[in-house]
Structures are given as C-alpha cells and as structure tokens.
Amino acid sequence: MIDILSLYLQKQIKIIKDNLLIATKNFDVDAIHDFRVGVKKVKALYLFADDLSNNSLNVKKKLSALRKLFKTTGNLRDIQVQIELLCKYKKKLNIELSDFNDYFHEKEKYFERKSDHAIKNFKLSELDKLQTKYDEYLSKQKEDKIFNKAFEIINKRYSNLIILSQHFSNIDDIHKLRIRLKEFIHIFASLNKDKKLFSKIPVAYIELKRIGEILGTWHDKIVFKEYIDDFMKKYTKKYKSKKDNYNKLLKKIIKDIDNDLSELDNKLKEVKIIDNE
C-alpha cells in the first residue's frame, strides 16, 4: 500500500505540472479542469495520510501554496463552466442572451489575468516538496499497521458520509456532503490497486460516483443562478426589453436544480451503510 500511495501522488503531481504548463499558454478549459482535479486528489491523499498519523501532518500549512493557486483558478474554472452552461441553455430555450454572454466573457478575461499572475508566481518546487514530505512520512510506517489503519479510516469516512446524507437540511449541508464525498472518492480511487483492501470494503463505489456527478451538476447550476441574479440586479434597467428571456432562463435553472435534488434524494436512498462485521 505504501508504494501504491506514493506512486499515485507522483502521478497526480505530474498531471498538475503538465496542465499548468498548458494553462499558461491559453487557459485551455480541459487543462484548468485537469489541474484542479489533480490538486483535489493530492489534497485527498494528504488528508488520508493525516488520518493515518492521527492528524499530526499539519496539512493546511503544507498545502497552503497549492491551495492558494487552486482557489484563484477556481474562479476561472467556474466562469468557463458557466459559459458552457449558457450555450446549452440558449440552445434549449431558443432565446437570445448575448448581453449575458458578454458579461461572462468580461469576467473570464478578469479571472484569466488573475490566474495568469498566480500561476507565474507559483513555484513548481512546492510540488516536489509535497512528494518528498509524503514519502518521508510513509517511509516511517509499517505495511501491516498502515493497512489496518486504512481499513478503519475508509469505514469511518464512509459512515460519516452516510450520516451527512441522511441529515442535510440546507444548501450548506449539501455543499459539505459534496466536498466530503469527493475526498472519499479520491482516497478510495488512490487505493484501488490494493486488492486485499478492496476485497474487505464493500463500498457502493459506482453509486457514490453517480451521487458525486449529480452534486457536481447541481453545484454548477447553483453558481449559474447566482450569476443570473447578479446580472439582473445590476443591469435590469439597461436590458429591460430582454427581461423576459432572463426570467425564462432563471425559471428553467430553478427547475433543473430541483430535479437534481430529487435525483440526489433517490440515489442516496440506494446507498447502504458499510457492514463493519
């Protein structure tokens, strides 16, 4: 398991470096996405190691530089997703929303400048340090102990997910479930080559991934709605003649958000708590 974790981290760090290089040229949508997924997986690996060490790794400090870059590029990624969503909704509803499109592209240019500055000021050596620190920690662990501890952690995290899924009552709870589920999926995926561990943990992995996808599309639409609200609040007078189009778009978004929540509720009922016996 120690070698599996180290190699997985090495793979994610390479993905981050490769996509940062691409992103500096043209802010390619896929590169920004893949970079951020790589960061999420690195964070998940560190959180898992922190669990193994009984929370002694000071993860927040070790990942501070990477987290800062992740946050800055997150604004750009959000806008890129919103532009894609806008194109889909314009086609679905057959309405003209060029002003909203211009609004998004202005924000995109702003966040590109912010991201460009952040990427150029990020030292790739920070990533190498993360690999070194991670390997140093793993080298001090015994394989049998880390295996048993990993089994306990996966079970605990999964059980916590079930508790979260059964008791959310507002949007913040759903966001928390989304983040914790992503962490769990990334941790679980990093261990998938350890057949012995996998054989002991009957996690509903496929169902969890689908729940993660639903939560992802739900989150994108929540952000989209926030941008619509912001646009309409600031530019209502200027685009009064087109207000019907924006109301139609808003109505459709709200309906789709409700549909996502209904699908989420149905999928959550299918997931069973791990049998710890």
Q: Could you report the per-residue pLDDT of 37-77, keeping only the tens digit for each?
A: 999 999 999 998 888 887 777 888 889 999 999 999 999 99
- Pairwise pLDDT comparison (170 vs 12), residue with the higher score: 12
The amino acid that residue 243 corresponds to is K
Which is higher by pLDDT, 60 or 178?
A: 178
Of the candidates 200, 168, 207, 218, the one whose C-alpha atom is nearest the C-alpha of residue 184 is: 207
Rounded to the nearest integer, the mean pLDDT of the chain is 86
Residue-wise DSSP of 145-212: HHHHHHHHHHHHHHHHHHHHHHH--SHHHHHHHHHHHHHHHHHHHHTTT-HHHHHH----HHHHHHHH
Domain 2-270: top CATH class? mainly alpha
Cα(19)–Cα(42) distance, integer angstroms: 14
pTM reported for the whole predicted model: 0.87
The mean pLDDT value for 176-188 works out to 90
Angle at 200 between CA 196 and CA 206, to 5 degrees: 100
